[in-house]
Amino acid sequence: MIRLEDAEKWYNRGEFNEVHALKKASLSVAPGEVVCVTGPSGSGKSTLLSLIGCVFPPTSGLVEVGGRKLSRLPDRFLTMHRQKVIGFIFQQFRLLPGQSVLDNIVLPLLPQGIPPAVQKQIAASLMERLSITARKDFPVDKISGGEQQRVAIARALVNNPAIILADEPTAHLDEQLSREFLAIVGELKRDGKTVVITSHDQRVTTDKVVDRVVEIVDGRIGSRDGNGYAH
């Protein structure tokens, strides 16, 4: 599902402020696998997630996501591909303030020309599943953190993508909500979705739903299994 071979990412290459964010990274994630990327901040986690998330192509090396090589893919096609195969869950949920739960969930559907009735149908089943139907018309800034998290998840799932990426999903959640989140990840796993989570939260890295923990330090990838032993 995801394959990186010697992927490199430079920012501002050749300039005074150049950053070598990812060094010869190789990683392969099978369909239905749940992988947790961990590492200190500034280690290249976000860059790795962006590469997998088709936000930008690698500077060199190979990145293949959902059966498609990203190298030299123009912006437009990256966006199209991202829309089809990737669902994002952001660190601070990144919901659009002032808009209703429903509006937030259907946001990715709008430019695809999906009629409102169909949008509603898709959103309704997701809200049902994540039990936020009652909050449908509430503005997102008027609901609890856990509900916001679930709205963010619903939005990530609305295109029915094969890959879900979550960036520090539990950073702002308490014990209870973190557990809920991991339970939802478990469900996604049962549905056959591939999930990549970046986190340095012990609760996530040690949870049994995570198949594999990948450690990234200073732009280089190492790997441990779910029990926390380094290979």
Partner 1 sequence: MIRHATFFLLFCLLFVCFNAALWIYSAKHQQTLAGDGLVPEIVGTLGLTDLCLATDARYIRHLSVSDPLSPYMNHPGALEHFPSSALYVPR
Partner 2 sequence: MKTFFNRHLNILDYAIGNLWRGRFRSVSILVVFTITVFMVASFSLLSNSLRSAAVQLLETVPEIIVQKLEAGRQVGISIDEIPKLDTIYGISEINPRIWGYYFDEINGANYTVIGDPRFGRDQLIPGLPLEMSSPEKLNPAISPAVVGTSFVQSRRVGQRSNFSLFRPDLSLKSFRIVGSFSDRSSMVTADLLVTTIEDARDLFQIQANQVTDLLVSVANPSEVNVIAGKIDKILAGSRVITRNQIQKTYQVAFGWRSGVGLICMLGAVTAFAILAWDRASSLSPDEAREVALMKMVGWQTSDVMLVRFWESAVLSTISFGLGYMAAWIHVLFFKGALFLPILLGWSVLKPPVVLVPVFRFSDLLLIGSLTIFPYLAATIIPAWRSGTVKPDALV
Read off the DSSP letter of residue 214. Answer: E
CA–CA distance, 134 with 141 (Å, rounded to integer): 15
Write the binding mask 109 to 128 for partner 1: x where contact by CB under 8 A, - elsewhere: -------xx--x--------
Cα Dmax for the chain: 53
Contact 12, 208 (CB under 8 A): no
Bridge-partner residues for 89, per DSSP?
Answer: 166
Window 137-166: residues binding partner 2 (CB under 8 A): 155, 159
Gap between the Cα atoms of 117 and 123, Å rounded: 10
Whether 70 contacts 147, CB under 8 Å: no
Report the half-sphere exposure of 228 (CA within 13 A, side-chain side). 9
Minimum Å gap between C-beta 176 and partner 2 is 27
Shortest spacing between CB 128 and partner 1, in angstroms: 18
53 binds partner 2 (CB under 8 A): yes
| CA gap 212, 23 in Å, rounded | 21
Asked if 197 is part of the footprint of partner 2 (rule: CB under 8 A), the reply reads: no
CB nearer to partner 1: pick between 116 and 228: 116
Q: How far apart are CA 18 and CA 83, in angstroms?
A: 30
Binding flag, residue 194, partner 2 (CB under 8 A): no
Contact call for residue 115 and partner 2 (CB under 8 A): yes
Smallest gap, in angstroms, from Cβ of residue 116 to partner 1? 5
Reported in sequence order, the residue ranges of the chain that DSSP labels E, i.e. its strands, are 2-11, 19-29, 34-38, 60-65, 68-69, 86-89, 163-167, 194-198, 212-217, 220-225
Residue 75 interacts, among partner 1, partner 2, none and using kind-specific CB cut-offs from 5 to 8 Å, with partner 2
Tell the smallest beta-carbon distance from residue 106 to partner 1 (Å).
11
* 10 binds, options partner 1, partner 2, none, Cβ within 5 to 8 A by partner type: none
Record the tokens describing residue 203, joined without a space. Answer: 């609760």
Q: How far is the CB of 192 from partner 2 (least distance, A)?
A: 21
Q: Please select the residue that binds partner 2; options are 8, 147, 167, 201, rule is CB under 8 A.
A: 167
* Residues ≥6 apart with Cβ < 8 Å to 162: 1, 31, 66, 85, 193, 194
117 binds, among partner 2, partner 1, none (CB under 5 to 8 A by kind): partner 1
Contact residues for partner 1 (CB under 8 A)? Answer: 116-117, 120
Chain residues that interact with partner 2, rule: CB under 8 A: 46, 49-50, 53, 55-56, 75-76, 79-80, 82-84, 88, 90, 94, 96, 98-99, 103, 107-116, 155, 159, 167
